[in-house]
Homo-oligomer: A and B are copies of this chain.
Amino acid sequence: MSMVKLTEYEGASPEVKAVFDDIMATRKVDWINNIWKALAAHPPTLKRIWEQVKDVMGPGGRLDPLTKELIYVAVSMTNNCEYCIQSHTASARKKGMDDEIFGELAAIVALANQTNRLAIAYQIDVDDAFKPKFD
């Protein structure tokens, strides 16, 4: 029940097809998932978001691909985004996550949501020892 008509590859504009092609090539898959079909209703957003996802979540950098996905899923759980939890849990499973790692991830996310509210409820001042120091 998306808010705009999904754009299928057939009949897409060349601009949209170029992004769809890059998504499939980068991910080595032969289909396009729904979020990109929806964003295609606004091509500048489609292009901008895909380029970011490719850049931030792709290989390179200091964090390994599974860790990146775990962080992404942690945020999505906190924000209650069903699509994001389901799609990035599927990605994380491809990169090695199993039920046990999922369980540890969910436990940390839940704990942080709990302790975040305790720190807020009690209005705790940051200890000097934790504050960043710069010369």
* Chain A stretch 112-132: residues in CB contact (< 8 A) with chain B: 112-127, 129-132
**Contact present for A101 and B53 (CB under 8 Å):** no
A106 at the interface (CB under 8 A from B): yes
Interface string of A87-122 (1 = CB under 8 A from B): 101100000000111111111111111111111111
Q: How many copies does the complex hold?
A: 6
Interface of A is mostly: helix
CB distance from A122 to the nearest CB of B (A): 4
A31→B66 CA distance, assembly (Å): 35
What's the tally of chain A residues with a CB closer than 8 Å to chain B? Answer: 80
CB distance from A108 to the nearest CB of B (A): 5
A24 at the interface (CB under 8 A from B): no
Q: Which residue of B lies closest to A29 (CB)?
A: B129
3 tightest A-B contacts by CB? A42-B103, A114-B114, A75-B112
Q: Beyond A63-B108, A72-B111: 16 further Cβ-contacts under 8 Å?
A: A3-B86, A3-B102, A33-B127, A33-B130, A53-B111, A56-B107, A63-B70, A71-B105, A71-B112, A78-B78, A79-B112, A80-B81, A87-B126, A89-B132, A110-B118, A113-B114
